[in-house]
Each structure stands twice: as structure tokens, then as C-alpha cells.
């Protein structure tokens, strides 16, 4: 009897329990946001590529363009900026640029909650996410915050490289005639008071230009217009080099210029394709259009040299490539191949005009054309984004795709950046010049900044 009862119970469980389960409600769990290893791996590589743009890319590009007696000084300035701004970024810069605050200052500057990266753990996800069509959101202080698929600290160091290269671009305007002490103080203050607020306006979730709908995928306004306008102000206020326009001042090493430009071209793929913050189709499109715009700009500049100067030059080809990289930067997440070709051609025409005709006519000494290429190229790129942004890439539409309002928004973003960067740089120049001085003495400039500022020379002659 006991055996029969046991067998009966087993059969009951095996046959009836599944039938009961058929009528039970199905409970599913939605996986929460988590780190995507593919996105993370790509973003670490992209971060390294952006660092490559500064050292060694920009260092060799700018360094090759100056005279041999100032080569070390340019390398020193870019290396020093990389060190100082990296520290500033983790201490307070990131918090000011991407943090949040309350009250009337919220659209203009972040708070201090993330100073020294306080409270940020290695397992935290990035609060910013651009490229996936259906990002997961969370609510913080009653506001939706988009959660990315990469660690927060990866986003922080990726943005650090943008903060590093932006003041480094300004070096091109005052190369060969600035005091090193004044340069360091100015660069640090500029990053704190000029770069961080503008980055917050455009890229922070509560920035006023971001809410207005300004399009800047990878730094047309935040990096290039910002640095280019500061470069113009510094060039004018610092004054011309002692022998400017008295005789030709050729680059001391055209091969270094070419190598530096090549490294910038390669590193820029991290700059633009990485700004989608994911390894996906948007990153692939940004990669493609960056390359095509750069190729178009380089070829156009070479043709202009050939037609006007009768000989195509390597320096011109390299300069055109950089102009193309600059102009496609804000548009790289919003335009297709046709748009990138148009941007590349147009920016070379405009920047060539600025460098070859406008600068000599006005007489300002923008030593390495930081304003003529980065400032003007950034403005061209920002405005053409407002014309050429296509819904085939993202939801944004430019004027050529039925949304002229986008061009108006781009104009507002450009003007706001020009005014704030220009006035802010002018004030900082006056303050730093009063405190420690910015212009090298005539004797120091004649000797060269390598020896007079650093006691080193780029080249040693052997008997």
C-alpha cells in the first residue's frame, strides 16, 4: 500500500504540476543597463587616438612649422599642457563641464559634485550616451538621464583628451614669442574659465545650447571655434614677431610637418568616430565622412597651390588636410558622403583665402594659422552642419533637408562661442600679462625660446 501511494504521488507531480504551470502568469525580468565590452574597448582605443593627436601629432605638426631655434619650445608647451590640463580635468574640470548644478547657473556651468571624481566608481556607467536609438534612462533629481554602455571613467578620460588638445591648438598663434611661465598660467586659466563653460553649454545634458538644439558632434564649436578665436585674440594682443614680414620665415622641417599632419589624420578617427560613444553604424559613418572630407580638402588645397602658386606644396597639402579634419568635426555624426565632400572642398577654399590673402592684408601674426585654419574651419563646419545634416544619419535635419531653423541655431552657437571666447581670452591676457608677463623679450626671441626659456636645443652639431 505504501509503495502504491508513493508511486501515485510521483505520477501526480510529474503530470499535473506542468499543467498547473501552464496557467501560471509568466514573470520576465528586463536586464538593467550594463557595460558593453565592445563599446568600451573601442572607446579606450578612441581615447588613445585623441591623445595621439596632441602628442606626437600636433607637437610635430606645429614643431615642424616653426624655426629650429623654437622647436623644443613648441614640444615643451604641448607636453606641459597635456600634463597640466589632465590634472585640472580630474580635479575640477570634468565636474564643471559635465556636472550639474541648480538655479540660474545650471545652463552655463556645472557644479563641484564630481571634483576629484568624487563618488564615481569603476562600475558606474557613463551618464552620457549618444548613438544607440533606444538608450536606457534613469531619473536623477527628477530629470531623465541617459545611461551609456561604457564605464563612466572611460567617458571622463575620453573627454579629457578634448580638454587637452583645445588650449594646445592656441599655441599656433603665439609660437616663437611667449614666455613659458605666462603660457602655463594662461593655459590653465583658459581651460578653467573658457573651455569648461563652453563644453557645458554644448555637450552637457542641461547646457543652454544643447537644449536649443545646437549640433556639434565632436567639437566644431567647443574645440575649434573656441581655440581659433582665442588664437586670434592672443596673436593680436601679443604682437608680431620681431622679424615678421621683414623676410620669409619658412618651416624648419617639412617632413615633421607631414608626419605630424599624418598623425593628426589618423588620430582624428578617434576624435570623430569615438564621439558616438559606441562601436556601431554611427561610428562607422563618422569614420568614413571624416576621411572623405579630409581627402577632399587636402586635394583642393593642393590644386589651389598648383593653380595660383604654380607648384603644389607638401605644407599646403598638409594644411588642407587639417582644415578638412576641422570642418567635418561638428558634422561627422550628421552628414553623409556627399555632405562630407562639399564640406571638404568649401573649407579649403575659405581657409586658403584667409591664410593666403586676408591675413597678409590685415597684418596680424597668427604664426601657424591657428585662427585661419581652426577658427575659420570650425565656423565653416558648424554652419554647414546646419545646412547639410541629413535624417539618413540621425534625426537632425539641416536647411537643405527642410529645416532652416537648424541653421539659425548653428549661427547662435557660433556667435555665442566667438563672443565668450574672444572677450574671455582678452580679459585673461590682461590679467596674466599684468601678473607675470606674456611676451618674451626681444633678446629671448632673437636667441630662440629653446635656449632662452629651456636651456636646450633641438639639434646638436658634432665635430
Neighbouring residues of 55: CB distance < 8 A, sequence distance ≥ 6: 78, 79, 82
Pair 313, 198: CB distance under 8 Å? no
pLDDT at residue 6, as a whole number: 52
Alpha-carbon gap, residue 101 to 160, rounded angstroms? 20
pLDDT at residue 31, as a whole number: 54
3-state SS, residue 144: strand
Cα–Cα nearest to 384, from 348, 422, 420: 348
3-state SS, residue 178: strand
Cα–Cα nearest to 182, from 21, 166, 174, 461: 174
165, three cell numbers: 588638445
> Distances in Å between the alpha carbon of 222 and those of 161, 216, 270, 341, 424?
13, 8, 17, 23, 14
pLDDT at residue 148, as a whole number: 82
> Distances in Å between the alpha carbon of 31 and those of 28, 35, 341?
10, 12, 42
Pair 322, 290: CB distance under 8 Å? no
Q: What DSSP letter does each residue of 73-108 carry, written as one string? A: HHHHHHHHHHHHHHHHIIIIIHHHHH----GGGTTT
CA dihedral defined by 332, 222, 415, 298, rounded to 10 degrees? -50
Alpha-carbon gap, residue 446 to 191, rounded angstroms? 30
Structural domains of the chain sorted by starting position, each given as residue range(s) with its CATH number in brackets: 37-121+152-454 (1.10.3430.10)
Alpha-carbon gap, residue 315 to 129, rounded angstroms? 38
3-state SS, residue 179: coil
3-state SS, residue 285: helix
Whats the size of the chain, residue-wise? 463
> Distances in Å between the alpha carbon of 461 and those of 60, 76, 368, 370, 444?
21, 21, 27, 32, 21
Cα–Cα nearest to 169, from 340, 359, 323, 380: 323
- Tracing cell 550616451 back to the chain, one arrives at 129
Q: What residues does 143 pair with on adjacent strands?
A: 140
pLDDT at residue 129, as a whole number: 60
Number of other residues whose CB lies within 10 A of the CB of residue 38: 12
Please classify residue 108 by burial: count the beta carbons closer than 10 Å to its beta carbon, then call 0-12 exposed, 13-18 middle and 19+ buried.
middle
The ranges of the chain with pLDDT < 70 are 1-32, 129-147, 461-463
Which alpha helices (DSSP H) does 329-436 contain, by range?
Answer: 337-353, 359-362, 376-388, 404-435
- The per-residue pLDDT for range 111-167, each reduced to its tens digit, is 999 999 999 999 998 887 654 333 334 434 444 445 689 999 999 999 999 999 999
Phi/psi for 446 (5° steps) reads -65, -40
- The CA-based angle 170-176-178, given to 5 degrees, is 70
Cα–Cα nearest to 36, from 111, 125, 159, 100: 125
> Distances in Å between the alpha carbon of 219 and those of 26, 332, 352?
48, 10, 22
pLDDT at residue 32, as a whole number: 56
Alpha-carbon gap, residue 288 to 144, rounded angstroms? 32
Q: Annotate 74-95 with b (16+ C-beta within 10 A) or e (fewer).
A: bbbbbebbbebbbebbbebbbb
Alpha-carbon gap, residue 111 to 31, rounded angstroms? 32
Pair 256, 75: CB distance under 8 Å? no
Amino acid at each position: 500500500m505504501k509503495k502504491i501511494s508513493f508511486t501515485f504521488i510521483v505520477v501526480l507531480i510529474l503530470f499535473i504540476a506542468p499543467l498547473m504551470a501552464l496557467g501560471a502568469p509568466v514573470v520576465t525580468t528586463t536586464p538593467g543597463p550594463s557595460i558593453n565590452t565592445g563599446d568600451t574597448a573601442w572607446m579606450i582605443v578612441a581615447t588613445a587616438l585623441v591623445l595621439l593627436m596632441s602628442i606626437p601629432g600636433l607637437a610635430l605638426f606645429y614643431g615642424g612649422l616653426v624655426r629650429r631655434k623654437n622647436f623644443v619650445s613648441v614640444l615643451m608647451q604641448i607636453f606641459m599642457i597635456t600634463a597640466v590640463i589632465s590634472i585640472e580635468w580630474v580635479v575640477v574640470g570634468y565636474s564643471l563641464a559635465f556636472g550639474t548644478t541648480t538655479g540660474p547657473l545650471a545652463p552655463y556651468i556645472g557644479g563641484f559634485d564630481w571634483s576629484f571624481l568624487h563618488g564615481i566608481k569603476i562600475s558606474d556607467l557613463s551618464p552620457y550616451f549618444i548613438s544607440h536609438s533606444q538608450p536606457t534612462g534613469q531619473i536623477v533629481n527628477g530629470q531623465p538621464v541617459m545611461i551609456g554602455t561604457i564605464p563612466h571613467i572611460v567617458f571622463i578620460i575620453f573627454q579629457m583628451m578634448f580638454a587637452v588638445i583645445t588650449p594646445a591648438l592656441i599655441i599656433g598663434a603665439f609660437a616663437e614669442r611667449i614666455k613659458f611661465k605666462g603660457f602655463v598660467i594662461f593655459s590653465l586659466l583658459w581651460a578653467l574659465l573658457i573651455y569648461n563653460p563652453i563644453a557645458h553649454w554644448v555637450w552637457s545634458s542641461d547646457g543652454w545650447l544643447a537644449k536649443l538644439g545646437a549640433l556639434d558632434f565632436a567639437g566644431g564649436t567647443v574645440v575649434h571655434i573656441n581655440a581659433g578665436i582665442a588664437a586670434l585674440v592672443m596673436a593680436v594682443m601679443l604682437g608680431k614677431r620681431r622679424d615678421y614680414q621683414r623676410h620669409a620665415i619658412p618651416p624648419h622641417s617639412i617632413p615633421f610637418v607631414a608626419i605630424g599632419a599624418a598623425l593628426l589624420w589618423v588620430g582624428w578617427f578617434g576624435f570623430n568616430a569615438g564621439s558616438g560613444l559606441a562601436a556601431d553604424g554611427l561610428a562607422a559613418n563618422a569614420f568614413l565622412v571624416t576621411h572623405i572630407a579630409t581627402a577632399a580638402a587636402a586635394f583642393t588645397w593642393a590644386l589651389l597651390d598648383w593653380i595660383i602658386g604654380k607648384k603644389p606644396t607638401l605644407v599646403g597639402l598638409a594644411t588642407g588636410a587639417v582644415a578638412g579634419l576641422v570642418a567635418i568635426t561638428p558634422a561627422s555624426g550628421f552628414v553623409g558622403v556627399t555632405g562630407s565632400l562639399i564640406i571638404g572642398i568649401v573649407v579649403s577654399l575659405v581657409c586658403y583665402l584667409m591664410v593666403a590673402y586676408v591675413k597678409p592684408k590685415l597684418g596680424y601674426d597668427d604664426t601657424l594659422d591657428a585662427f585661419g585654419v581652426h577658427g575659420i574651419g570650425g565656423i565653416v563646419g558648424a554652419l554647414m552642419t546646419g545646412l547639410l545634416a541629413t535624417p539618413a544619419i540621425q534625426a537632425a535635419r539641416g536647411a537643405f533637408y527642410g529645416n532652416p531653423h537648424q541653421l539659425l541655431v548653428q549661427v547662435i552657437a557660433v556667435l555665442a562661442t566667438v563672443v565668450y571666447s574672444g572677450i574671455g581670452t582678452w580679459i585673461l591676457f590682461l590679467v596674466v600679462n599684468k601678473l607675470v608677463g606674456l611676451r618674451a623679450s626681444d633678446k629671448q626671441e632673437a636667441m630662440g625660446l629653446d635656449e632662452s626659456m629651456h636651456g636646450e636645443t633641438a639639434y646638436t652639431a658634432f665635430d
